[in-house]
Amino acid sequence: MRAVRRMCQERDLSDGFTYALPGDLGVLTLSSQVLQHFTAHRQRKLLAREAGGQLFATFADPSVMAVVEATGPRKNDKRSVFSYRPDRMAERAEIEERFARGLHFVGDWHTHRERVPNPSDEDKRSIIESVHQSAHDLAGFLLVVVGQVEFPDGLHVSFHSRDASVVLTPLTARRP
């Protein structure tokens, strides 16, 4: 952990939020652009529908998973006040198109109509299923749930591998 904190101080990772990944996996950064995308889709109004999408990252430095893009919601997603079901065909197309641009799928995000969000059991099952069924070389995937309060309190960020699920807390945070 001390090495991760030192790395955060040595690099300019203050643009957005920085989290320590479990073990020796390095750090996760959420860019200001990604945080602004989450902010735009928070469920603040009474009948606001859940929104969601996918997370894409670069790995220019192998010790930094830099999430630089969040997609969605899409017009064919199934959305209600209390549920979100993505358009799986559109998701596959997003993954292929972004991979061609050097971006890697690293997880999913969606909103909850709660001040401080917590993933449902279904959310946890879904991301773990993705880890097990996807063909990838990553140690695991991210799950971000966006709540109603200001970030970082309004974000649930967790990392899910084949063996464990870990809730991440920000090392550094600057509002977008």
User: What's the domain count of the chain?
Assistant: 1
Mean pLDDT of 88-97: 96
* Strand partners for 70: 55
Global pTM value: 0.88
For 140, which DSSP code? E
Look over the chain and give the mean of its residue pLDDT values, rounded to a whole number.
89
Domain CATH for 46 = 3.40.140.10
Supply the range of the domain harboring residue 73. Answer: 2-173
With 90 as the cut, is the pLDDT of residue 88 above it? yes
Which pLDDT value is given to residue 173? 54
In 3D space, the residue among 48, 55, 50, 51 whose CA is nearest the CA of residue 16 turns out to be: 55
Mean pLDDT of 150-159: 96
Lowest-confidence segment of 29-38, 49-58, 127-136 by average pLDDT: 127-136
Residue 127 · residue 143 · CB < 8 Å: yes
Residues 6+ apart with CB under 8 A from 102: 58
Which pLDDT value is given to residue 172? 66
